[in-house]
């Protein structure tokens, strides 16, 4: 009897795949063809959007890199290319919506944009997505937060769990959220796609509820395939219990 109870207990622990339609909106991806390290063709873009749709998403807000040394995108470039994608989506009768914002790399040019009052590409309720260098802590983080909030933006820090300089201080997420910074988590971090340190940090964020948005950060369709394969992970079900802001973006 003891053996049978162990077998049944083990079976009971196998969870169903997490239903991604709960999120409604993915707000971090790289789907505009040929302008950053994401999709390189319209065919790739459409294939990824079709996969997003099959996974249950209603809207994708794609966020090309704006990075002075590598991807010198502007709002005009991004929005112009977005129109081409939207036209193709309509022609192919896909039901998923696609909008665009940007993922701003934190370097001196971001301060310059803020000082010149250049309008940043935002999504939803004036949210602006930004990222740090993965390995080196940038200077003047607190100044950046102050400048963004003072200018009326709602800052969203992309993939907090991937920054090596934060692995040992995940509680920074709690501190920064209290200052008005939104924290975004990459879904594939929870399944070890970026390595064990990132996975551990991601789990701590979920366990403590220190996140505001989750996203795919999709650059290629393999990212969505990996996500689909790992949806039984208990941490995806924990995400479903959090008060995330993704759903709020569906009607905006």
The model's confidence at residue 3, banded by pLDDT at 50, 70 and 90, is low
Residue 26, in any domain of the structure: yes
Long-range contacts of 41-47, Cβ-Cβ distance < 8 Å, separation of 24 or more: 42/84, 42/85, 42/88, 44/220, 44/221, 45/85, 45/88, 46/88, 46/89, 46/92, 46/94, 47/221
Residue 238, in any domain of the structure: yes
* Pairwise CA distance, residues 50 & 215, whole Å: 17
Long-range contacts of 194-200, Cβ-Cβ distance < 8 Å, separation of 24 or more: 194/161, 194/162, 197/164, 197/167, 198/161, 198/162, 200/167
DSSP-derived 3-state class of residue 33: coil
pLDDT in tens, 70-86: 899 999 999 999 999 99
Residue 156, in any domain of the structure: yes
pLDDT at 6 over 70: no
Residue 2, in any domain of the structure: no
Please report, for residues 11, 172, 198, the alpha-carbon distance to residue 161 in angstroms, rounded to integers and kept in the order given: 31, 11, 5
CATH number of domain containing 43: 3.20.20.140
Full-model pTM: 0.94
What is the Cα 5 distance to its own chain's centre? 41
Residue 3, in any domain of the structure: no
Look over the chain and give the mean of its residue pLDDT values, rounded to a whole number.
95
Farthest-apart Cα atoms in the chain, separation: 73
* Pairwise CA distance, residues 18 & 45, whole Å: 24
Residue carrying structure tokens 């807000």: 61
pLDDT at 252 over 60: no
Percent of the chain with pLDDT over 90: 92
Residue 102, in any domain of the structure: yes
Comparing 12 with 46, which gets the higher pLDDT?
46
Residue 13, in any domain of the structure: no
pLDDT at 238 over 70: yes
Q: Name, in order, each residue with C-beta under 8 angstroms of 47's C-beta and a sequence gap of 6 or more.
A: 221
The model's confidence at residue 4, banded by pLDDT at 50, 70 and 90, is low
* Pairwise CA distance, residues 33 & 49, whole Å: 12
For residue 69, the model assigns a pLDDT of 82
Q: Kindly state the DSSP code that residue 138 receives in the 8-state scheme.
A: P
Residue 77, in any domain of the structure: yes
With beta carbons less than 8 A apart as the criterion, state whether 224 and 186 touch: no
* Pairwise CA distance, residues 14 & 154, whole Å: 38
What is the Cα 31 distance to its own chain's centre? 13
Q: Name, in order, each residue with C-beta under 8 angstroms of 174's C-beta and a sequence gap of 6 or more.
A: 208, 210
Find the domain containing 77 and state its range.
18-251
For residue 42, the model assigns a pLDDT of 98
Work out how many domains the chain is built from and give that number. Answer: 1
């Amino acid at each position: 009897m003891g053996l049978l109870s162990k077998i049944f207990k083990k079976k009971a622990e196998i969870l169903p795949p997490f239903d991604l339609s709960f999120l409604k909106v993915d707000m971090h991806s790289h789907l505009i063809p040929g302008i950053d390290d994401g999709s390189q063709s319209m065919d790739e873009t459409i294939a990824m959007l079709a996969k997003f749709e099959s996974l249950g998403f209603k809207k994708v807000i794609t966020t090309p890199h704006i990075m002075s040394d590598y991807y010198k995108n502007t709002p005009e470039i991004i929005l112009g290319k977005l129109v081409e994608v939207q036209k193709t989506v309509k022609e192919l009768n896909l039901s998923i919506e696609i909008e665009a914002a940007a993922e701003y790399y934190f370097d001196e040019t971001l301060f310059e944009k803020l000082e010149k009052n250049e309008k940043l590409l935002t999504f939803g309720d004036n949210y602006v997505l930004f990222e740090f260098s993965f390995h080196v802590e940038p200077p003047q983080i607190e100044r950046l937060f102050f400048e963004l909030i003072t200018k009326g933006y709602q800052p969203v820090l992309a993939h907090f769990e991937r920054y090596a300089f934060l692995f040992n201080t995940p509680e920074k997420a709690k501190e920064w959220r209290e200052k008005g910074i939104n924290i975004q988590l990459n879904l594939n971090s929870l399944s070890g796609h970026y390595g064990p340190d990132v996975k551990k940090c991601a789990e701590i964020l979920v366990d403590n509820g220190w996140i505001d948005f989750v996203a795919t950060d999709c650059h290629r369709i393999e990212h969505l395939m990996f996500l689909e394969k790992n949806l039984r992970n208990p941490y995806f079900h924990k995400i479903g219990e959090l008060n995330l802001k993704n759903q709020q973006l569906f009607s905006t």
